[in-house]
A = this chain, B = another copy of it.
Amino acid sequence: MRCEVLAVGTELLLGQVVDTNSAWIGEQLAAAGVDCLLQVKVGDNLGRIVRALRDALARADAVVCCGGLGPTPDDITREAIAEVMGVGLETRPELVEVIRGIYAARARSMPESNLRQAQVPAGAEVIPQTRGTAPGLVCPLGDRVIYAVPGVPHEMREMVTRAVLPHLAARAGQRATIRSRTLRTWGIGESALAELVAPRLAALEPAGNPTIAFLASGIEGIKVRITARGAGPDPEYAADALLAAEEAEVRGLLGEAVFGVDDQTMEAAVGVLLAGSERTLAVAESLTGGLIGARLTAVAGASGWFRGGLVSYASDLKRDLLGVVEGPVVSAEAATAMAEGAARLLAADVGLAVTGVAGPTEQDGQPVGTVFVGLAGLGPTSSRRLQLAGGRETIRQLTVVHAGDLLRRALLHAAGSGAGGGGGGGAG
């Protein structure tokens, strides 16, 4: 069973709106065990929509066509489907009543143009609208089918879930599901990661289920995605069992490099470890200007373990408030003094500090991309020198994740819990 997605709308091609509908539909199709091998965006042009539909039907059993069902003159998906079916449009009186009723319920007068939405290609079945004014369509073409759904995301999602997916499943006559889980890693390059996981790739090759793929996500590290297909009486259970077993295998190969699963961020992982060990954290930031604190406090419950931070952007503040001695502020000495100073000034168990050169020009004789991370309160105070590549914002963002990862690994290895140095909670 193959199903393509056709997203209709000139605004999508012009980049005025990012097409998130196709991605969502693709995810649902995968979960339903339907192959989606191509997704296309086309503008509001009759000839090109017709051609795109014909091309899709030549490759796939079904097409989900999204958008172009509204009341304005540029909404021409109905006309395009009718042309592909070789039929005319007919006005369905029951749809006219429904659309008039929607406007009456909203106590608004209805422009007559809205009744275009009551027109349906002859032979098509209507998917009743429950949210917007446009109905969806199920349009049979021999042994193939076009589903038309609105482009407004919440209308589309409701209609796909309620009508399109069950219709597709019934056509496919099978119950299978595809599920995936993503292990998020930091500290190993993409090709080295691939070499580490190579034994699993080889072991999985013959059966082809589950499969493993790598996604480089820039400053968010590299993701290892495990995808499993489940069948049988309980396909979800079967897929989840495969995922769990493979996750254990991959974690065995990658160890501490795995910091999170699916949407779990580095800062969320750090938060879990701090909360679990009852330690509080303070940060001292320079080149990142507050980014570390901003990301840590995006984690719900951060007030339980995050005390606060000092953004010591001006060099004299590092000396006056954090106890950094005279000398270069981009140095290991400055980073360790800042980490200790932050823990002291903000009364936290653990102090994390970053100082470095984000660019555009060098500083203290250090080239752009030189960053020192200091860590205090987890064993002896220590520092790490990083040499990062990229522009100013990339260096800042990479610094945040590197610093978070150093803290995470130190917390993993630290015994016991915090000294209780932190004061009361409560973030205003």
Contact = CB atoms under 8 A, between A and B. Distances in A.
Interface stretch (A84-92, A188-196, A240-248, A405-413): A188-196
Contacts of A180: 14, 16
B308 A313 contact: yes
B293 A396 contact: no
A426 interface: yes
A300 to B, nearest CB: 6
Contact of A313 (B131, B192, B307, B391): B307
A321 B43 CA distance: 54
Contacts of A298: 289, 392-393, 396
Contact of A307 (B107, B314, B394): B314
B427 A286 contact: yes
Given A37-B42, A213-B10, A321-B345, A302 B314 contact: no
Contacts of A170: none
A189 B111 contact: yes
A83 interface: no
Interface in A118-160: 131, 152-154
Given A306-B313, A321-B345, A426-B329, A74 B37 contact: no
Interface string A275-308: 0000000010111111111101110101100111
A382 interface: no
A43 B180 CA distance: 16
Interface stretch (A161-169, A214-222, A228-236, A252-260): A214-222
| Secondary structure call for the A interface | mixed
Given A72-B190, A346-B317, A428-B364, A19 B23 contact: yes
A77 interface: no
Nearest to A107: B387
Contact of A215 (B11, B102, B317): B11
Nearest to A345: B321
A314 B426 contact: yes
A425 interface: yes
A13 interface: yes
A299 to B, nearest CB: 10
A191 B314 contact: no
A61 to B, nearest CB: 16
Nearest to A306: B313
A363 B298 CA distance: 17
A290 B287 contact: no
A114 to B, nearest CB: 5
B72 A214 contact: yes
A397 to B, nearest CB: 10
B38 A42 contact: yes
Contacts of A48: 37-38
A86 to B, nearest CB: 23
A22 interface: yes
A62 to B, nearest CB: 15
B19 A194 contact: no
B428 A356 contact: yes
Contacts of A307: 313-314, 317
Lowest 10 CB-CB distances: which A-B pairs, in order? A289-B297, A290-B290, A290-B293, A15-B27, A329-B428, A111-B191, A309-B311, A15-B23, A290-B294, A355-B428
18 contacts: A11-B225, A13-B30, A14-B180, A16-B27, A18-B18, A71-B191, A285-B293, A286-B428, A289-B298, A290-B293, A298-B392, A300-B360, A302-B313, A309-B313, A310-B310, A313-B427, A314-B347, A357-B428
